[in-house]
């Protein structure tokens, strides 16, 4: 499974979803889907903008966690 750590990153930076949406130009609904890990398809341009605004690496934003089977 792919884990998205946007909620943690925003908390660490004391930034709201709305502020991130304004700074990236990404729709607030889309930011919310990333935040709550509900996004089904990622947009590379979105990931680039989020990493740029949050000054983080892609591995800080998301990570692969193997399923327990």
pLDDT digits (tens, 9 = 90+) for 21-53: 999 999 999 999 999 999 999 999 999 999 999
Residue 3, strand partner residues: 63
Question: What does pLDDT average to over the chain?
Answer: 96
pLDDT of residue 67: 84
**Cβ proximity of 4 and 39 under 8 Å:** yes
What pLDDT was estimated at residue 68? Answer: 79
Is residue 38 within 8 Å of 4, Cβ to Cβ?
no
Specify the pTM: 0.91
**pLDDT of 9 above 80:** yes
Q: Which fold, 2-64?
A: 434 Repressor (Amino-terminal Domain) (1.10.260)
Spatial separation of the C-alpha atoms in residues 29 and 32, rounded to whole Å:
5
Domain extent listing, the chain: 2-64
69: pLDDT strictly greater than 80: no
């Amino acid at each position: 499974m792919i884990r998205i750590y946007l909620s943690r990153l925003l908390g660490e930076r004391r930034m709201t979803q709305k502020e991130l949406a304004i700074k990236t130009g990404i729709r607030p609904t889309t930011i919310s889907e990333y935040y709550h890990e509900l996004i089904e398809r990622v947009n590379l341009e979105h990931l680039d903008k989020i990493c740029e605004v949050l000054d983080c690496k892609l591995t800080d934003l998301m990570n692969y966690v193997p399923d327990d089977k």
